[in-house]
């Protein structure tokens, strides 16, 4: 199982948040603790197999599928091979 990070671009750096990979693989959903959620979090991905251009899938309040006391749940509309995994 490989690691996948959500990212947030700051002024001088890019912050990374590790996804709960066990939950993602089992349910095909992103499970994000509520205290990690903020505007401009994104998941870098490739639309095509050439892996030439990186796109950003932003997580927003409108994209929340469900929530409980501690987590927000978002859809994961990609195959894990489409997600960019290079560490910055």
Residue at 19 is within a domain: yes
Average of per-residue pLDDT across 22-47: 90
Domain that holds residue 29: 5-82
CA dist 5 and 7 (Å) reads 6
Position 54 scores a pLDDT of 85
Residue at 88 is within a domain: no
Work out the pLDDT band at 86, boundaries 50, 70, 90. Answer: low
Average of per-residue pLDDT across 65-71: 94
Domain count, the chain: 1
- 24: burial class by Cβ within 10 Å (0-12, 13-18, 19+)? middle
Residue at 65 is within a domain: yes
Position 1 scores a pLDDT of 63
The model's pTM: 0.83
Share of the chain above pLDDT 70, in %: 92
Residue identified by tokens 């998941």 is 43
Give the chain's end-to-end CA distance (angstroms, integer): 19
Residue at 87 is within a domain: no
């Amino acid at each position: 199982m490989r690691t996948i990070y959500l990212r947030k671009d700051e002024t001088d750096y890019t912050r990374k948040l590790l996804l709960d990979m066990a939950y993602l693989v089992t349910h095909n959903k992103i499970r994000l603790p509520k205290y990690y959620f903020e505007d401009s979090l994104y998941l870098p991905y490739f639309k095509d197999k050439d892996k030439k251009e990186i796109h950003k899938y932003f997580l927003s309040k409108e994209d929340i599928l469900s929530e409980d006391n501690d987590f927000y749940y978002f859809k994961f509309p990609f195959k894990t091979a489409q997600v960019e995994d290079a560490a910055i």
